[in-house]
């Protein structure tokens, strides 16, 4: 499934958006739908510094990735980078905290420094897809040493996928062979109570 959006009609595991405008990443694995109680857990991790939640979220993600990725292990795990200013405010990068645990358990190298967020964007939860896409344009800078590699990008929440798509685009520009998103929770606007598990 390319973007892990729940769709009723799909062809080749793609939703309509991915078919008409294919993203730069080739697949998305989401542990859960972004809904209660996972939204509360993610919120507590990010804004109340409950760092012990990171391995719990990582375990949920691991269950999914272990089941699906055994035949296609990525070469490197890249946590979604946070802008230095945001990092300073929060004190940690939640994607790195989750990624650290996943990398360790799967024995895959973690690469927290090969991508940087060079522009600090405003939170874009309220922005529609097109504006989000412009909002995140050129916010990342990635190392050129990723050539030929299959990369797994880890993030806590995927909403429209605009940020993940922008990062995947930069990674592909640096020669990455394949980019897969591993996210803890995927927002599904109209299906709050559905776990992805029931569908895939």
Q: Which residues of the shown chain bind Zn ion in the complex (CB under 5 A)?
A: 2-3, 5, 15, 17-18
Q: Find the helix packing angle between 53-68 and 38-47, rounded to 10°.
A: 130
Least gap, CB of 179 to Zn ion (angstroms): 15
Question: What single-letter DSSP state applies at residue 76?
Answer: E
C-beta of 11 vs 119, nearer to Zn ion: 11
C-beta of 15 vs 139, nearer to Zn ion: 15
C-beta of 21 vs 143, nearer to Zn ion: 21
C-beta of 5 vs 186, nearer to Zn ion: 5
C-beta of 2 vs 102, nearer to Zn ion: 2
Least gap, CB of 3 to Zn ion (angstroms): 3
Least gap, CB of 182 to Zn ion (angstroms): 16
**Residues near 152 by beta carbon (within 8 Å), at least 6 away in sequence:** 65, 69, 74, 76, 77, 78, 108, 179, 180, 181, 182
User: Looking at the chain, which runs of residues are DSSP E strands?
Assistant: 27-33, 76-79, 109-110, 115-117, 140-142, 150-158, 178-186
Least gap, CB of 187 to Zn ion (angstroms): 13
Least gap, CB of 14 to Zn ion (angstroms): 6
Q: Give the whole-angstrom CA distance, residue 140 versus residue 42.
A: 23
C-beta separation of 105 from 87 below 8 A: no
């Amino acid at each position: 499934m390319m973007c892990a959006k729940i769709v009723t009609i799909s062809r080749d595991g793609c939703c309509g958006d991915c078919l008409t405008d294919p993203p730069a990443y080739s697949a998305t694995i989401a542990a859960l739908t972004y809904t209660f109680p996972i939204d509360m857990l993610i919120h507590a991790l990010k804004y109340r510094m409950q760092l012990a939640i990171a391995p719990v979220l990582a375990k949920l993600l691991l269950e999914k990735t272990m089941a699906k990725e055994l035949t296609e292990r990525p070469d490197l795990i890249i946590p979604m980078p946070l802008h230095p200013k945001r990092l300073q405010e929060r004190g940690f990068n939640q994607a790195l905290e989750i990624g650290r645990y996943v990398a360790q358990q799967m024995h895959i190298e973690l690469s927290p420094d090969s991508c940087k967020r060079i522009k600090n964007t405003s939170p874009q939860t309220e922005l529609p897809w097109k504006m989000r896409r412009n909002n995140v344009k050129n916010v990342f800078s990635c190392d050129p040493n990723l050539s030929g590699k299959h990369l797994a990008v880890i993030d806590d929440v995927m909403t429209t996928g605009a940020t993940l798509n922008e990062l995947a685009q930069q990674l592909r520009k640096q020669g990455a062979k394949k980019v897969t998103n591993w996210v803890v929770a995927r927002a599904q606007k109209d299906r709050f109570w559905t776990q992805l598990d029931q569908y895939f």
